[in-house]
Amino acid sequence: MDVWKAAAERARTHGDVIVLAAGQPSTPAPAPVLRATKAALDAELLGYTETFGTHELREAIAGHHRAGYGIEVSADDVVVTTGSSGAFTLIFLAAFDIGDTVAVARPGYPAYRNTLSALGCRVIELDCGAQTRYQPTVEMLEALPEPPAGLIVASPANPTGTMITPDELAALARWCDAHGTLLISDEIYHGIVYGDHTPTATAWQTSRESVVIGSVSKYFSMTGWRLGWMLVPPGLRPALQRLASNMTVCPPAISQYAAVHAFDPESRAELDGHVRRYARNRALLLEGLPELGLTDLAPADGAFYAYADISHLTDNSTRWCADVLAGTGVALAPGIDFDTRDGSHTVRLSFAGATADIEEALVRLGRYLDARVGK
């Protein structure tokens, strides 16, 4: 967010900014969603809805999971939330107590760590490197002094884009079930995968005691609509119902009416077009960054991020990103947010934007780096 602020300032003063720092698509919601929004403005009251979301949307989400993963899911299993961010706060409150330990991957999405800490949980950061595709393993859990109350996994992950194999996800889910650990599987980047990583596994294929998190933010290109969801085991639903009805009453009504159409075939065709563009952008970066000397990249199996080691260039990624922005107008995300230990020498590049922007960013970064090494 600090980088965004600096980028906005640079845009005002220079007008030349290319933002590769944002973790969001560069496209609006799909056309059927936009049409449904306009219709809902005329036809619907847009008052509060049921706390867990409208039946129509919960049914659409359940259908998405049935069709995508071949599992039985009903509308009753679905809890619609205010973004997946809202889902995390609710499930942490419902499932964990103050002092509970919850394991997360490092590097990882910082809001898990920050929200859990704010709620009084003890966060265990599992040191996940290239050997395990930056993902937690059963061996890491076995090495803990005692089973944690919770484990959060994200596949594809932010900031690395790496994925957990279906077998490993199943093994993690079985371990969690056997040890009384609640597995929270962040699957919000599903649908944005490359190479032979389809079909993507869901934790509910192995354990219906786990919690699956989804969102319209990433694949569905609807970040600002603030709509996410969870698949939750029955035991957690009463607590979630009480918490959600007190804390938010319901997720945004207009977004719910509209999002029903995010799963339409016409929407899917439009969204798959975005994924094809991400794939082209990814190929450009995976070829272009090593030519600039950024050779140590996490394998970007999915999502829209390249995560690069820049230890040969700096030991302060925040300062380096500020300098790159000042020198080139290209905004990058310093790794320090995702990895409090090693992120001072990593950087995340989002390739969710236009292909022309990726090409131009590579040219500018090339010039910047050449000038630094005196070429």
Q: Which residues bind ligand PLP (CB under 6 A)?
A: 23, 83-85, 109, 154, 158, 186, 188, 215, 217, 223, 228
Of 219 and 313, CB closest to ligand PLP: 219
CA distance 351 to 2: 19
Of 136 and 228, CB closest to ligand PLP: 228
DSSP state of 366: H
What angle (nearest 5°) sits at the alpha carbon of residue 294, between those of residues 292 and 299?
A: 130
> Are the C-beta atoms of 109 and 158 separated by less than 8 Å?
yes
DSSP state of 131: G
Least separation in angstroms between CB 217 and ligand PLP: 3
**Which residue reads 């994200």 in tokens?**
154
Of 288 and 343, CB closest to ligand PLP: 343
Least separation in angstroms between CB 24 and ligand PLP: 7
* SS3 per-residue string spanning 309-348: ECCCCCCCHHHHHHHHHHHHCEECEEHHHCCCCCHHHEEE
Least separation in angstroms between CB 23 and ligand PLP: 4
With CB atoms as reference, the residue minimizing the distance to ligand PLP is 83
Query: CB neighbours of 192 closer than 8 A, spacing ≥ 6?
Result: 156, 218, 219, 275, 278, 302, 303, 304
DSSP state of 297: B
Of 229 and 257, CB closest to ligand PLP: 229
Please state the separation of Cα 374 from the chain's center in Å. 38
> Are the C-beta atoms of 17 and 335 separated by less than 8 Å?
no
Of 49 and 255, CB closest to ligand PLP: 255
**Which residue reads 């845009």 in tokens?**
11
Least separation in angstroms between CB 1 and ligand PLP: 11
Of 25 and 148, CB closest to ligand PLP: 25
Least separation in angstroms between CB 90 and ligand PLP: 12
